[in-house]
Amino acid sequence: MRPLALTLALLVGACAKTAEPPATLPARAADPATLAGWPALLAELQGQALDGAGKVTAAGVPLFDLRAKGRPTIYAFWASYCPPCLAEMPMFQALHDDGVAVVGVSLDGDDVAGSAKLMAEHGARYPNVVLDTPSMKRAGKALAAGLPFTLVVDGQGAPRVGLSAKCERPLLEAALAAARAPP
């Protein structure tokens, strides 16, 4: 009986202690979850726009110009070396099929043919942009948490939700609801 009492006393004592807040990391300002730097970044990042068939429709297109004006847009950042990114593609396609504005953003640095091939293999027929090499490097620095990264902007293009991990549809639907709500 005594060991049980001692165990309970230790557990209660441990739960009663107040945890110290985590330290703020200097790199936190670059974390996409803060969203502060993303409006400028969306205007600066550019690449070759691909239609749903993987054909180049324009070059030097800023990401910001591909948003759906007046309604939320999902920017899905991905790369060929990121299996969770590729696994998300069918979900993003289903959202696109349901009328959600989705823009894929490939960080494969000018590899249009490779990106188009992966889009076809994973059923991604929504618009994509293959970032040019300078933009890919800039995005890579901003994505301190790595890939996959999903950014949801509202109808005016203001970033509302940043998700640094593989996403599931219910989470994205909640992010879209937040983007539709008044700021």
Is residue 7 in some structural domain? no
116-130 average pLDDT score:
96
Q: Which pTM does this prediction carry?
A: 0.81
Is residue 28 in some structural domain? no
Which of the four pLDDT bands, split at 50, 70 and 90, describes residue 145? confident
Is residue 5 in some structural domain? no
Is residue 39 in some structural domain? no
178: left (phi over 0), alpha (psi -120 to 50) or beta: alpha
Reported as type and span, the H/E element at residue 48 is: strand 46-50
What is the percent of the chain where pLDDT is above 90? Answer: 69
Q: What is the pLDDT of residue 37?
A: 87
Which of the four pLDDT bands, split at 50, 70 and 90, describes residue 183? confident
Is residue 41 in some structural domain? no
Q: What is the pLDDT of residue 30?
A: 36
Which of the four pLDDT bands, split at 50, 70 and 90, describes residue 46? very high
155, 83 Cβ separation under 8 angstroms: no
pLDDT one-digit tens code per residue, 15-27: 233 333 322 222 3
Range of the domain at 134: 48-180
Is residue 27 in some structural domain? no
Which of the four pLDDT bands, split at 50, 70 and 90, describes residue 6? very low
The DSSP line for 132-144 is -HHHHHHHHHH-T
169, 94 Cβ separation under 8 angstroms: yes
CATH number at residue 63: 3.40.30.10
128-134 average pLDDT score:
95
23-43 average pLDDT score:
59
Task: Indicate the SS3 state at residue 10.
Answer: helix
Is residue 135 in some structural domain? yes
Mean pLDDT score across all residues of the chain: 82
Q: What is the pLDDT of residue 13?
A: 29
Number of domains in the chain: 1
Is residue 17 in some structural domain? no
